[in-house]
Amino acid sequence: MISSHLGRGKVEDSSEDELRLSDAVLAAFCFQSGRGEGKKQRTRLRVNAVYRAFAELRKKYPDWLQDMSFTYGPADTVPISGALEDILFDLGASGIMSVENPRYAYLKIPAFKLILIRKAITERRNEAEQGELRRLADEFDQLYSKASRKG
């Protein structure tokens, strides 16, 4: 699913909702304002912080993340989303990201792949959607930083 999402234009084997959700997740990883322009892109992400950040983003960006629901456990546990897990799995299966640690603690996306993702989203989405995705990505960046400090 994800690898076909990096191509140009509409993808025939995916619904628009799946493509929209995938674009939102991919944009969160590579579409932040200022990253790549003096501020280094994140290429290594803590899995638990990614889940925590998206759980908060889901509340603020339901149009982009409506298919991403979360299950919450006891206080201070990481919220879980089957939809996010599927996207992260697809990113790994397609070679866009990797998990190079046995505890599944970190995700790794090479910088050149972030550039390719950014280009694909820019070609596929209009300016208004790109603006929304930049805001989503900027907020992800802040929430991710906060969640990373939490542990």
Find the domain containing 25 and state its range: 2-150
Number of domains in the chain: 1
Could you report the per-residue pLDDT of 11-34, keeping only the tens digit for each?
444 577 788 999 999 999 988 766
Q: Counting beta carbons within 10 angstroms of the beta carbon of residue 57, is it exposed (0 to 12), middle (13 to 18) or buried (19 or more)?
A: buried
The residue ranking higher by pLDDT, 39 or 96, is: 96
pLDDT at 138: 94
- The first and second tokens of residue 117, run together, are 């993702």
Mean pLDDT of 47-72: 94
**Total-model pTM:** 0.82
pLDDT at 71: 93
Confidence of residue 3 (pLDDT cuts 50, 70, 90): very low
Could you report the per-residue pLDDT of 60-111, keeping only the tens digit for each?
999 999 999 999 988 778 899 999 999 999 998 999 998 877 677 889 999 8
The residue ranking higher by pLDDT, 123 or 17, is: 123
pLDDT at 17: 74
CATH for 120: 1.10.10
Euclidean distance between CA atoms 35 and 53, whole angstroms: 18
Dihedral Cα 113, 118, 122, 127, nearest 10 deg: 170
